[in-house]
Amino acid sequence: MNEIVNCIAYSKGQRVAEPLLEDVHKVLKDESQFVWIGLHEPSEELLAKVQSEFGLHDLAVEDAHNAHQRPKVEMYGNSLFLVMRTAQVNEEGHTSFGETHFFVGPNFIVTIRHGNSIPYNNVRTRCENTPHLLSKGQGFALYAVMDFIVDQYFPVVQVMEKKLEEIEDKIFRDKPGRATTEQIYMLKRELLEVRRAVSPLVDICNRLMRFDIKCISEETQPYFRDVYDHVVRINEVVDNTRELLNTALEANFSLLSISQNDVSKRFAGWAAIIALPTMVAGFYGMNFKYIPQYESRDGFYLVIGGTALTCCLMFYFFKRSGWL
Amino acid sequence: MNEIVNCIAYSKGQRVAEPLLEDVHKVLKDESQFVWIGLHEPSEELLAKVQSEFGLHDLAVEDAHNAHQRPKVEMYGNSLFLVMRTAQVNEEGHTSFGETHFFVGPNFIVTIRHGNSIPYNNVRTRCENTPHLLSKGQGFALYAVMDFIVDQYFPVVQVMEKKLEEIEDKIFRDKPGRATTEQIYMLKRELLEVRRAVSPLVDICNRLMRFDIKCISEETQPYFRDVYDHVVRINEVVDNTRELLNTALEANFSLLSISQNDVSKRFAGWAAIIALPTMVAGFYGMNFKYIPQYESRDGFYLVIGGTALTCCLMFYFFKRSGWL
Amino acid sequence: MNEIVNCIAYSKGQRVAEPLLEDVHKVLKDESQFVWIGLHEPSEELLAKVQSEFGLHDLAVEDAHNAHQRPKVEMYGNSLFLVMRTAQVNEEGHTSFGETHFFVGPNFIVTIRHGNSIPYNNVRTRCENTPHLLSKGQGFALYAVMDFIVDQYFPVVQVMEKKLEEIEDKIFRDKPGRATTEQIYMLKRELLEVRRAVSPLVDICNRLMRFDIKCISEETQPYFRDVYDHVVRINEVVDNTRELLNTALEANFSLLSISQNDVSKRFAGWAAIIALPTMVAGFYGMNFKYIPQYESRDGFYLVIGGTALTCCLMFYFFKRSGWL
Amino acid sequence: MNEIVNCIAYSKGQRVAEPLLEDVHKVLKDESQFVWIGLHEPSEELLAKVQSEFGLHDLAVEDAHNAHQRPKVEMYGNSLFLVMRTAQVNEEGHTSFGETHFFVGPNFIVTIRHGNSIPYNNVRTRCENTPHLLSKGQGFALYAVMDFIVDQYFPVVQVMEKKLEEIEDKIFRDKPGRATTEQIYMLKRELLEVRRAVSPLVDICNRLMRFDIKCISEETQPYFRDVYDHVVRINEVVDNTRELLNTALEANFSLLSISQNDVSKRFAGWAAIIALPTMVAGFYGMNFKYIPQYESRDGFYLVIGGTALTCCLMFYFFKRSGWL
Amino acid sequence: MNEIVNCIAYSKGQRVAEPLLEDVHKVLKDESQFVWIGLHEPSEELLAKVQSEFGLHDLAVEDAHNAHQRPKVEMYGNSLFLVMRTAQVNEEGHTSFGETHFFVGPNFIVTIRHGNSIPYNNVRTRCENTPHLLSKGQGFALYAVMDFIVDQYFPVVQVMEKKLEEIEDKIFRDKPGRATTEQIYMLKRELLEVRRAVSPLVDICNRLMRFDIKCISEETQPYFRDVYDHVVRINEVVDNTRELLNTALEANFSLLSISQNDVSKRFAGWAAIIALPTMVAGFYGMNFKYIPQYESRDGFYLVIGGTALTCCLMFYFFKRSGWL
C-alpha cells in the first residue's frame, strides 16, 4: 500500500482537486476549501514534508512518527493533534490494536494510520455522499473517522461479553474446570487493554465538545457528543464485565474446590463403609479356641450377610444425610 | 397498538384540541398552548414527519430511531432530547428493560416508547386531573412521565432486596448450597444492569434542576428534585445490595466449604474409631503358638468387649473436643 | 401522644405565647418573634393546616407526610425543608431508626417526628435555659435539635465497635466459629444502614454552614460546623469498622478452615500410626508353615512390644514436626 | 505538672516578659508583641479565664475542654482554632495517642496538650534560638509546634513498616503461622488509627498554605508546605502498608492452608504405601487349604521382601511426582 | 566524582563561559545568558554558597540537603524548587532509586543528584547539539533532564511486565508453586514503590504546563506535555500490572490448592481400590470350620482373580468419572 493513500481538496462538500502534496499550500490559500490527506505508516521524510506544508509543531510530528502513544488530544496554536487507538477482533477471537493520528488545522485534516487497521476509504466515500454535512469542514471529517473507529469497538466488546457468557456456562452449567481460571485471567487482561485504549477518549470528546477550538466549527460540536456517548457505553460494558469477571473468578474457585472436596468426601464415605466389614472379619479371624458360630455350617454366610446388611444401612443413612 | 398513541393540545392545563400530526405546526403558532404527543416504536417515516413539524436535530432523531441508547439528556438549540431506560419485574421475577425517549421544545413534548413498557395514558389522565399543575407547561408533563418511570424502579429493587434476603436465609438458616453461588452471581448481574439504567439519571436530574433550560419553566424545576431524590435512593439500595452480595458470596463459600470439611472430618473420626479394633483383631489373628487367652472360653468376647469400651471412650472424647 | 406536641412563640429567647395553630399567622406578623412547633406523626389534615399557615411548598408537605425519605435539605423560596434519620439502640442491642422533618422559615420552625424516637422536650427546655443563645432565632433551634439527633448516633456506633471487639475476641481468643460469619455479616448490614442515614448529613451541614440562607442568621452558622464535625467522626468510625469487618471475615474464615483442617490432619496422623501395627499383625497372620518366632512363648508380646515402640517413635516424630 | 506551663511575651523574636495570665490583655495592647502560652489539661475555670482574656468563641472553648476531637481547623472571626492528634510509640511497641489544641489570634498563640504527649519546651527553646524566624510572629510558633508533632509520626510509621517486614519474614521465610493472621489484623487496626489522625492534616495544611488568614503572616505560609509534605509522606506510607497488609493476609492464608494440606497429602501418601502390604498380608492370611509357597521355608520372607520392594518403588514414584 | 560536576553559562543556546561558582552572580547580570550547574551530593557548605549566589529560600535548601523527599514542585517567589525520584534496574533485576533536585530561576538552573543515578552529561551534550532549542532558556534544560529521568522508568516497568509474564507462565503453563506467591508479593511491593515515585509527577507536569511560571518561557510549556504523557503511560502500566497481580495471586492460590487437593483425591481413590480386596481377604481369613472353596485347589487364585477384576472395574469407573 502506498504511503500517501489520498490527498483531496473539498469545497462546499464536493471534491474540487487532487493536488500533489507539494502543491497543497497553494490550495490552502483559498479559505473556502479544505484538504483531507490520508497517510499510512509514512516515512520520516514524508512526515517532514507534511510538517513544512502545514507548519506543524515539532513535538506533534515526533509523536506521529513513533507509534505507541496513548490516546490524547493536544492543541498547538490553532491546530490540533489527536491520537486514537483502533481495535479489531482477529480470526482467533483476540483483539489486535492499531493507532491513528490526526492533524487538524484551519483548513486541513491529515489522518495517519499505524499497525493493522481498516483503511478509511469507506468513511471518505460516505462523507462525499452527504455533501451538506461534509461542507461543515474538516471538523466533520474528523468526526466521521472518530465515529468509525469507535464503532469498531462494539464488536470487540461483544466478543468479550460472549466470552464471559461462555465462562458463566462453564462455571454454572458444565463442570467448573481449572482451564476456566486461565480464561478468566486472559479475558481480564484483554479488558484492561481495551479500557486503556477507550477510557482516555471520554476526556478527549469532552474537550472537543466543550472547548472553543478554532479548527472545529461550532455546528460540528454536537456530533462529538455522539462519539462521547458511544465511548461511555463501551466503557460501561468494560467495567461491568470486569466486575462480573472478578465475581466469576471467585465463583469458579469456590465451585471447583467444592466439587473436588465432594469427591474426597465421597471416597471417605466409601472407606468408612468398607472399614466396618473389614473390622468384623478381623474379629472372626482372631485365633481363639472358642469362636461363636465356629462349628456352624452357615457361620461364614451369616457374618457376611450381617455385615452386608449393616453396610446397606450405613449407605442409606449417608445418602439421606447428603454425605455421599 | 398504533404508532401514534395520542396527540393532544393543552391550554391552561385543559385539553383544547386533538390535531392531526400534520396540523401540529398550526397549533404551535399559539404560544399559550402546548402539544403532548405519545408515540410507540414509530417507523422512520413517522419520525421524519415529527422532525419536520418540530424542527428537531438530525442526530437526536437518529438516536430516537435506534433504541439501545444509554440514559442521557442533550440540548439542541432551545429544545431538549432525553433518553431513559424503563424497568419492570416480569412474571419469572426477572427485570425486563425498555426505553423511552423525550423531545421537549418551547411548546411541545413528544414521548417515544420502545420495548415492553407500560403506556403513559394513566400519567396523562392524572396530569389532566390537576390542571393547575399541568398549566405549568410541557416541563410538568416531562416531570410526570419521568417520575412515573423512576417509581417503577422501586418494585424492581424491592424484588432484589427480597432475593438477597432469601439468599441470606439459605446461607445462614438452611444449608449453604452451591446453587446459592449461582443465585448470587445472577443477582449481581441484574444489579449491575439496573445501576447502568439508573445511575446516569442522577446527573440528568441535576442538569434539569440547575441549568437554565428555556423549555422548562422555572417553577417546574423543584419537581425534578423529587425525581432526583428517588433516583439517589434507588442507587443507594443498589450499591448496598451489591456490597452485601459480595460479602454473602464470601460467607456462602466459607460456610459451604466448612460444612463439607465437616463431613470429611467426621468420616475421618469414624475411620479412626474403627481402625483401633481392627488393629487389635489383627494382633489376635497372628499365628503364634502361644496367644494370651487362647484357651479361654470368653477370650473372643473379652477382646470384643474391651475394644468396644475403648471405642466408646474415644467417641466420647472426640465428641467433647468437638471433632465429631 | 398528641399530634401537636408544642406550639410556642419566643421573643428574645423567652416564651411569650402558646398560640393555637390557627392563630400562628397573627404571631408571625411580629418580626421580632418566632414560633417553634413540635408535631408527632401528624395527620394529612393537620399538615394541610400547617401548610396554609406558613405557606409551604406542595412537594415538601407531600414528603413530610410520607416518611421513608433519605436525609436531605431543600430550599423553597426563603424557607427550608430538612429531613434527618434518627437512630437508637433498642433493648436487643439492634439499631432502630426513625425520621424527623423540619420546616424552617423567616420566623418559624416546625419539627415533625416519625417512627420511634425520643421527643425533643428536653432540647426545648435546654434552649429555654440559655435565652441568650435561643435569641439568635429559629436557626439556633434547628441546630439544637440536629445536634441532639446526631449525638444519639454515638451510642449506636459505640455498640457497633463493641460488637466488633467481641467478634475479634471470638476469632483470635476463643475458637473461631461459624456463627461468627453470620455475626460479621449482620453487623455489616447494620453499618451500611447507619452509613446511609449519616453520610448525607456531611453535605447537608456543609450547605447550612456555607450558603447564604435567609432563615438562618449568620451568627448561628458556626454552630453547624459542630454538627458537621460530629457527623464526620461518626462516618469515620463507620468506615473503619467496615474495613476491619472485611478483614475480620477473611481472618475468621482462614482460622476456622485451618482449625478444621487441623483436626483432619490429626486424624490422618493417628490413622498412619495405627496402620503400621495393623500391617505387622497382618504379616504375622499369614498362613505359612514357618513363621519366625512361631514357637517362641513371647513371640506375641515381642511383636506387640516392637510395634508399640515403633508407634511411639512415630508419635514423637510427628509431634516434633508439628504434624499432630 | 502545672496547668500553665508557660506564658511568655515576645517582641522581634526575643522574650520581653513573662506576664501573669490575668495581665495578658495589657501586653496584647502592644501590637508589636505576641504572647505564647502553653497549657496542659487545663481546668474549666482556667479555660474560661483564657477565653475572656482573648475573646475566644464559646464553641471553640467547649471543644478545647472536651478532648477526643478529630483534627480540624476552624476560623472564628480573625482567630483560629486548630486540633491535632499526637502520637508516640510506647514501650510495648504500640502507638499511644494524645491531642493538642491551638488558639491563634492577631498577637497570641495558646497551645493546650491533652493525654500523654511530650511537652513543647524544646520547640520553644529552638524557636528562641532563631529569633530572626520567631520574629515572623505567632504563625511561626504554630508552624514549629505542628512540625514537631508531625515529625513524631515518622518513628510511628517506621515501627509499623518494621512490623510488616517481620510479618513478611514469618510468612515467606519461617513457617506461615496462625498467629500471623492476628498480627496482620492488629497492625491494620493500628494503621487505620494513624490514618484517622494524619489524613485530615492534608486538608488543614492546605488551608493554612492557601487561604488568606489574618493571624498568619504571608511569609510564614511557605513553612506550612513543609508540614504538608511530611503529612503526605506519612499518608503514603500508611496507604502502602495497608495495601501490602491486605496482600500479606491473603498470602499467609494461602501458604498456611497449602502447608497444612501438604501434611494431609503426605499422610495420605504413607497410608497408600502401607495399605498395599496390608492387602497382600490379608491374602496370605486367607484360610485356604492350598496356599502358594505354604510349605516353603522362605515364604514368609519372600512375601515380606516382595511387598517391601513394591513399597520402595511406590515411595520412589511418589517422591518423583512431588506427591510426598 | 567531584561535587561540582559542571558550571557553564549559555547564551543563545551556545556555551559562552565556564565561570567559577563564586563568579556566577556576575554572569547573572547579563539577562540574555543563563547558567546551568550540575552538582552531585553537595556538602552543606557548597549548598550554602549556591544559596547565597542565587538567593534561594531556606526551606528549599534544607530540603535539597536532606534527600528522601517525595516528588514535588514548589514556587518560592520567582524561582522554583523541584524534586524527582530516579529509577534504574540494577544487575539483580531489582529497581534502585535515586533522587534529583532542581532549582530553576530567572536565568539559572541547578541540578543536584543524590543516590545512584546516571550523570546528566549526555543530556547536556544533546541540548548543546540543538542550540535552537536550548536557546529557549533554562526551561528547556529542565525539560531535557526531566524527560531523561522519566524515560529511564520505561525499562523499569518493562522488567516488571516481563516478571508478570513469567509469573503467568508459572501459574498457567508450569506447575503453580508456592514460590510464586512470594514473587507476586515482592513484585507488588516494587510496583508500589514505583507508583510512589511516578504518580506525583502527573500533578507536577500539570502545574508546569498550565501555570504562569516566570522562569519557564511560554514556548517551552508544550514540552512538558510530552513528559506528562510519558508519566501517565507509566502510571497506566503500573496500575494495570497491579490489578493483574491481584488476580494472579488469587488464580495461583486457587490452582495450587486445587492441584494439591487433586493429589489427596487421587490417594483417596487408590485407598478405596485397595480397601476392597483387603476386606475380601479378611472374610476369607475368618476362622470358620466351613469356608466356601476351602478345599478347592484354585480357591486362592479364584479369590485374588475375582477381586483383581473388581478393582479394575472400579479403576475404570473412577477414571471415567474424572475422580482419578
Tell me the pLDDT tens digit for each residue of C310-322: 989 988 988 887 7
pLDDT of E266 reads: 78
Q: Which residues contact D231 (CB under 8 A, 6 or more apart)?
A: D150, D198, D201, D202, D205
How many residue pairs bridge chain A and chain E with CB atoms within 8 Å of each other? 134
pLDDT of C35 reads: 93
Query: What is the Cα–Cα distance from B149 to B221, expressed in whole angstroms?
Result: 18
Question: Which among A70, A263, A281 has CB closest to E232?
Answer: A70
Q: Is D278 on the interface with C (CB under 8 A)?
A: yes
pLDDT of E309 reads: 92
pLDDT over 90 (residue C76): no
Q: Which residues of E touch A282 (CB under 8 A)?
A: 282
- Among B245-254, B261-270, C31-40, which is the least confidently predicted range? B261-270
Question: Which among B260, B274, B294 has CB closest to A279?
Answer: B274
Q: How far is D49 from chain C (nearest CA, A)?
A: 20
pLDDT of D270 reads: 81
Q: How far is D20 from chain E (nearest CA, A)?
A: 36
Question: Which among A244, A265, A279 has CB closest to B260?
Answer: A265
Q: Which residues of A touch B303 (CB under 8 A)?
A: 283, 286, 288
Reported as a pLDDT band with limits 50, 70 and 90, residue A190 is very high
Instruction: Suggest the residue from A171, A288, A293, A311 to mutate for an interface test with chain B (most B CBs closer than 10 A).
Output: A288
Q: Which residues of C touch D247 (CB under 8 A)?
A: none
Query: What is the Cα–Cα distance from A6 to A111, expressed in whole angstroms?
Result: 10
Residues 67-106 of C with CB under 8 A from B: 69-70, 72, 74, 76
Reported as a pLDDT band with limits 50, 70 and 90, residue A230 is very high
Reported as a pLDDT band with limits 50, 70 and 90, residue C53 is confident
Q: Which residues of E touch D292 (CB under 8 A)?
A: 300
Instruction: Name residue E206's amino acid.
Output: N
Q: Which residues of D touch C233 (CB under 8 A)?
A: 70
- Contact: A274, E276; criterion CB under 8 Å: yes
Reported as a pLDDT band with limits 50, 70 and 90, residue B140 is very high
Q: Is A39 helix (H, G, I), strand (E, B) or coil?
A: strand
Q: Is C155 on the interface with D (CB under 8 A)?
A: no
Question: Which among A229, A251, A272 has CB closest to B70?
Answer: A229
- Contact: C281, B282; criterion CB under 8 Å: yes
Span B107-122, average pLDDT = 88
Please tell me which residue, B270 or E143, carries the higher pLDDT value. Answer: E143
Which partners does chain B have (≥3 C-beta pairs < 8 Å)?
A, C
pLDDT over 90 (residue C151): yes
pLDDT over 90 (residue A162): yes
Cα–Cα distances (Å) from D289 to A66, A291, C155, E280, E299, in that order, read 91, 20, 85, 17, 8
CB-CB neighbours of D121 under 10 Å = 11
- The DSSP output letter for E173 is I
Instruction: Suggest the residue from E76, E263, E274, E314 to mutate for an interface test with chain D (most D CBs closer than 10 A).
Output: E263
Question: Which among D225, D240, D278 has CB closest to E278?
Answer: D278
Tell me the pLDDT tens digit for each residue of A9-54: 999 989 998 988 888 888 888 888 999 999 999 998 999 999 988 8
- Contact: B285, A287; criterion CB under 8 Å: yes
The pTM (predicted TM-score) of the whole model is 0.88
* Long-range CB pairs of C6-9, under 8 A, 24+ apart, other chains included: C6/C36, C6/C37, C6/C38, C6/C121, C6/C124, C7/C35, C7/C36, C7/C37, C7/C38, C8/C35, C8/C36, C8/C37, C8/C124, C9/C33, C9/C34, C9/C35, C9/C36
Span A228-246, average pLDDT = 93
Tell me the pLDDT tens digit for each residue of A116-157: 778 898 999 999 999 999 999 899 999 999 999 999 999 999
pLDDT of D276 reads: 85
Question: Which among B192, B274, B294 has CB closest to A288?
Answer: B294
Tell me the pLDDT tens digit for each residue of B205-222: 999 988 778 788 888 888
Contact D70, D83 (CB under 8 A): yes
Compute the C-alpha angle D266/D268/D269, nearest 5°: 65
Q: What is the mean pLDDT of chain A?
A: 88
pLDDT over 80 (residue B247): yes
Strand positions, DSSP E, chain B: 4-11, 14-17, 33-40, 72-76, 79-89, 95-105, 108-114
Question: Which among B244, B261, B282 has CB closest to C285?
Answer: B282
Sign for the CA dihedral angle at E173, E174, E176, E178 comes to: negative
- Contact: E255, A286; criterion CB under 8 Å: no
Question: Which among C76, C268, C291 has CB closest to B287?
Answer: C291
Q: Is D291 on the interface with C (CB under 8 A)?
A: yes
Reported as a pLDDT band with limits 50, 70 and 90, residue C183 is very high
Q: Decide: residue E236, CB within 10 A, 0-12 exposed, 13-18 middle, 19+ buried.
A: middle
Instruction: Suggest the residue from D174, D245, D254 to mutate for an interface test with chain E (most E CBs closer than 10 A).
Output: D254
- Contact: B276, C274; criterion CB under 8 Å: yes
pLDDT of B78 reads: 82
Residues 225-244 of B with CB under 8 A from A: none
Instruction: Suggest the residue from D180, D204, D263, D283 to mutate for an interface test with chain C (most C CBs closer than 10 A).
Output: D263
Tell me, rounded to whole angstroms, the distance of Cα D228 from its chain centroid: 18
Q: Is C154 on the interface with D (CB under 8 A)?
A: no
Nearest chain C residue (CA) to D183: C172
Q: Which residues of B touch C192 (CB under 8 A)?
A: 240, 243-244
Reported as a pLDDT band with limits 50, 70 and 90, residue C1 is low
Instruction: Name residue A118's amino acid.
Output: I
Q: How far is D240 from chain E (nearest CA, A)?
A: 7
Instruction: Name residue A111's amino acid.
Output: T
Instruction: Kindly give the confidence (pLDDT) of every residue in chain E, 324 residues in length, as a single tens digit, with 9 standing for 90 and above.
Output: 578 888 999 999 899 989 988 888 888 888 889 999 999 999 989 999 999 888 898 888 888 887 778 899 988 888 899 999 999 998 888 889 999 999 999 889 999 999 877 889 899 999 999 999 999 989 999 999 999 999 999 999 999 999 999 999 999 987 777 789 999 999 999 999 999 999 999 999 998 988 778 788 888 888 998 899 999 999 999 999 999 999 999 999 888 877 777 777 777 778 778 888 888 888 888 888 888 877 888 888 888 898 899 989 988 988 887 776
Span D53-64, average pLDDT = 87
Q: Is C22 helix (H, G, I), strand (E, B) or coil?
A: helix
Q: Is B179 on the interface with A (CB under 8 A)?
A: no
pLDDT over 70 (residue B1): no
Q: How far is C61 from chain B (nearest CA, A)?
A: 12
Q: How far is A304 from chain E (nearest CA, A)?
A: 8
Which partners does chain A have (≥3 C-beta pairs < 8 Å)?
B, E
Span C57-80, average pLDDT = 86
pLDDT of D1 reads: 54
Query: What is the Cα–Cα distance from B169 to D141, expressed in whole angstroms?
Result: 61
CB-CB neighbours of E319 under 10 Å = 11
Tell me the pLDDT tens digit for each residue of B42-88: 998 999 999 988 889 888 888 888 777 889 998 888 889 999 999 99
Among A54, A52, A115, residue whose Cα is nearest residue A83? A115
DSSP run (H or E) holding C142: helix C138-151
How many residue pairs bridge chain C and chain D with CB atoms within 8 Å of each other? 133
Q: Which residues of B touch A286 (CB under 8 A)?
A: 281, 284-285, 299-300, 303
How many residue pairs bridge chain D and chain E with CB atoms within 8 Å of each other? 134
pLDDT over 70 (residue B243): yes
pLDDT over 90 (residue A244): yes
Q: Is D181 on the interface with C (CB under 8 A)?
A: yes
- Contact: C293, B288; criterion CB under 8 Å: yes
pLDDT of B189 reads: 93
Reported as a pLDDT band with limits 50, 70 and 90, residue C160 is very high
pLDDT over 70 (residue A1): no
